[in-house]
Structure 1
Amino acid sequence: MKLVAYMTDNADLLLFLTEQHIELVLVSVGISAVIGIGLALLTQSAPRLRHALLSLTGTLLTIPSFALFALMIPLLGLGVAPTIVALAVYGIFPILRNTVTGIEGVDPAVIEAARGLGMGAGRRMRTVVLPLAWPVILNGIRTATIMLVATAAIGAVVHGPGLGQEIFRGLERIGGANALEEALSGVIGVVLVALILDLLFIGIAKITALRGLNVR
């Protein structure tokens, strides 16, 4: 089969692009998580501002990926920087939304019990609220990660790293020798990366989930 032969002959390149893709997604999700969780914590006592931020980040998610990547070019040029910024923008909403949902879903009685024990607001958040909200927050990070795996491939339009390079090279040469195999190998790589990262988050959820709580 030509596809298998192509992937075997170009295994080193595909592995390199796969590693780039995974690194690109994880860095972008890390930035999104810091921003999303941070905004949820900072706006805990400002529900109107929190709602406005959810609306804003949700609206940003509706921007077509090609358009958002293109908008990054005048600001950041080509390469890794615009790709990471665009992906981080897309990743904020699901993480922010789930963090807000997780925090608001903590039983008020548990928070009152912690207050009765003399815990201050900061300590309650660190030792009670966030641990109980963690399964929901992690699910938001997982959702953002899987979403960005596919979106990261489009970063090739701004010369971003990863498997998108393989896909777009194949599409540009469609009809030529090995063009279809080139594009398909990139697509298969993206699917495998999504599967690997999803399994990784399932493992993290099982390890970190509190007794009686499950991430779904």
Structure 2
Amino acid sequence: MSLWTYLNEQHPRLLIGALEHATTVLECLAAATALGVAIALATHRSRWAGDLASASAATVLTVPALALIGLLVALTGAGPVPALIALTLYGLLPVARSAIAGLRGVDPTLVEAARGIGMSRTSRLLRVELPLAWPRILGGIRVATRLLMGIAAIAAYASGPGLGGEIFHGLAAPEDPGALDRVLAGTLGIALLSLLFEAGYVLLGRFTIARGTRV
């Protein structure tokens, strides 16, 4: 069976897998972004606190994805929950580190000017600091997305959703005539999703980042 024939015959199932893969990454990315920005807001003004937060988040990346997912399966059982927790943890570091760097990089004179015209701390944060830090935050989100796309495939080990199942099923039965097609279909599908996400981020950056603040 050729790859084209496999894609033609299995495209409804592959499309569902791609949708599950993209949805899982988006959900975990949203959670990682919310947590990462919250951590950055709480720690960026203190050098040691920000460095400690970044170092703590970085420790997650030292744990192999398969080992972490296996540990979570032992705690929560197989299914989507271990995958969601693991992906959120892995996405946390790039977002938190970029958000801390972005907030620290805001020109203090601009913040002082905003304070001088009577803006509250919340207004300064929402209207000055976060918009100026947004290019770096978006950069962290893009890095996290690339990371999670690949790790989401490993989550199929725990019966997680997405295209990883195609890869694992193909690798588990190498004698099957369609095994290679399954592996290629899953791999190419994940690569295509990554390109689509990247294109979306480019458009988002064009609409949300002022030309003079793009990095």
Indicate the TM-score class for this superposition, using the shorter chain for normalisation. over 0.9
What does the per-residue CA deviation read over 1:25-48, in whole Å, with 9 as the maximum and x for residues that have no partner? Answer: 000100100100001111234332
The percent of aligned pairs where both chains have the same amino acid is 38
1:62 Cα deviation (Å)? Answer: 1.7
Tell me what 1:56 maps to: 56
Tell me what 2:162 maps to: 162
Amino acid at match of 1:159: S
Task: Tell whether the 8 Å contact from 1:2 to 1:181 is kept in structure 2 after alignment.
Answer: yes
Give 3-state SS (helix, strand or coil) of 2:19's partner. Answer: helix
1:201 Cα deviation (Å)? Answer: 0.7
TM-score (norm 2): 0.97
Tell me what 2:114 maps to: 114
Give the number of aligned pairs: 215
Distance 2:45 2:103 in 1: 12
Amino acid at match of 1:112: E
Please tell me whether residue 86 in structure 1 is matched to residue 86 in structure 2: yes
Give 3-state SS (helix, strand or coil) of 1:26's partner. Answer: helix
Amino acid at match of 1:74: A
Within 5 A, what are the aligned runs for 1:131-210? 131-210=131-210
TM-score (norm 1): 0.96
Task: Tell whether the 8 Å contact from 1:132 to 1:210 is kept in structure 2 after alignment.
Answer: no
Amino acid at match of 2:19: E
> For the aligned residues, what is the CA RMSD?
1.1
1:182 Cα deviation (Å)? Answer: 0.8
Distance 1:49 1:111 in 2: 21
Distance 1:104 1:40 in 2: 9
After the TM superposition, which segments of 4 or more aligned residues of structure 1 sit over 6 Å from their partners? none
After TM superposition, the structure 1 stretch with the greater mean CA deviation from structure 2, 18-27 or 119-128, is: 119-128
Tell me what 1:212 maps to: 212
1:194 Cα deviation (Å)? Answer: 0.6
Give 3-state SS (helix, strand or coil) of 2:192's partner. Answer: helix
Runs of 5+ consecutive residues of structure 2 not aligned to the other structure: none
Tell me what 1:65 maps to: 65
Task: Tell whether the 8 Å contact from 2:43 to 2:100 is kept in structure 1 after alignment.
Answer: no
Distance 1:47 1:105 in 2: 13
